[in-house]
Amino acid sequence: MFDYLIVGAGFAGSVIAERLASQSGKKVLICDRRNHIGGNAYDHYNDAGILVHRYGPHIFHTNSRDVFDYLSNFTAWRPYEHRVLASVDGLLLPIPINLDTINKLYGLKLTSFQVEEFFASVAEQKDYIRTSEDVVVSKVGRELYEKFFRNYTRKQWGMDPSELDKSVTARVPTRTNRDDRYFTDTYQAMPLHGFTRMFENMLTHPNIKVMLNVDYREIQKVIPYREIVYTGPVDEFFDYRFGKLPYRSLEFKHETHDKPLFQSAPVINYPNEHAYTRATEFKYLTGQEHLKTSIVYELPQAEGDPYYPVPRPENAEIYKKYKAIADATPNVHFVGRLATYKYYNMDQVVAQALATYAKLSERSTWHPEDVQVSPKALAPDQDLSATKKNGGKALTST
């Protein structure tokens, strides 16, 4: 008899499995319909020996010391600050838009004070910010909106920004200085040996059993358990009773090139001229040294694995119906992006999973130092400071 059947071996399911097993002594069965753990953060070495992210780039960043400390029990870190360029008008320009973006695009030599005045002069006044278009044009005006945001959003979401909730672009800042980091979180780093290794370390507890290549419904009636933690699509759990919740999916086109580097930045966005939205070169992210390099192009699509909940008011209304019956379903706990129909970052999913565990265990607090990790999981010198001393170079080709 298992205490918990956990559906999905991504961040939400794995964190709760680890906590229940190590801190509460529960017997846990975690299953996934894919052939690997790690969910969309899964990474692996391709045929050329290059560490790649199968489902597109995953960049860890958080302002939560608790989340960072918790995950640090299962991985050492490689310091990494993410940078992105956008291909606009034949130029590669920093994104989010900053002082250098404006000066290079228009051939100007504005100062930080002057670029603030520039934004104010082109911004469109909005009495009420309702859509993604409103967010952008109220900050940087119509022309920059058209060059950087409109077509990118159309490709990504399959609809115009004027049809999307303001939350889609509200997270994209505009800067008046030269800060070209994509994120400004306190903690920015990549798992030293990859995300999959981190998940493996999380799931090593003897109370955890893992089943892959299986749909939970196939085992639900034959393997006894007491409660479920469900991290899959909430509409699917209830057999689409209120209709299907819309998601955007992605097609990934991976390529390996016989050269040390392929492009001039970790990620290059293509707002206008291509069907794909961006290209990622993994060696920037991982720090791996290799004579070859691998990239991935992302092509958004309507059908396929669900990646991004579509933030529109009518979809929120459908989700409310599912949430009502989810809350009323005994002994089933819904956690994660798909189960709660929210566009969460990785750290937000971890925080939600930790909070869910606290409720399940009736504990008001959790302590990262309590985590039980196999002695084989981490070498004694695997910490962030040691990685810094090594210049951030941790992965080498074999």
Indicate the pTM of the whole model.
Answer: 0.88
Please report whether residue 237 resides in a domain.
Answer: yes
pLDDT tens for 193-235 read 999 999 999 999 999 999 999 999 999 989 999 999 999 999 9
pLDDT tens for 29-77 read 999 999 999 999 999 999 999 999 999 999 999 999 999 999 999 999 9
> Is the pLDDT reported for residue 153 higher than 90?
yes
CATH of the domain at 219: 3.40.50.720
For residue 157, the model assigns a pLDDT of 94
In total, how many domains does the chain have?
Answer: 2
Tokens 């002082």, located at residue: 99
Helices and strands (DSSP H and E) totals, the chain:
15, 17
The answer on 240 and 364 residing in a single domain is: yes
Please report whether residue 251 resides in a domain.
Answer: no
- Domain encompassing residue 95: 84-170
Listed in sequence order, the residues at least 6 apart from 32 whose beta carbon sits closer than 8 Å to its beta carbon are 7, 8, 9, 10, 13, 39, 210, 211, 212, 214
The amino acid sitting at 142 is R
Please report whether residue 22 resides in a domain.
Answer: yes
Q: Where are the beta strands (DSSP E) in the chain?
A: 2-7, 28-31, 43-45, 51-53, 61-62, 77-79, 84-88, 91-95, 187-191, 208-211, 225-230, 247-257, 267-269, 278-281, 293-301, 308-309, 332-334
Length of the chain equals 398
Q: What are phi and psi of 99, to 5 degrees?
A: -60, -45
> Is the pLDDT reported for residue 6 higher than 60?
yes
The answer on 31 and 124 residing in a single domain is: no
Q: What are phi and psi of 233, to 5 degrees?
A: -65, 125
Read off the pLDDT band of 370 (50, 70, 90).
very low
Please report whether residue 316 resides in a domain.
Answer: yes
DSSP state of 262: -
For residue 391, the model assigns a pLDDT of 37
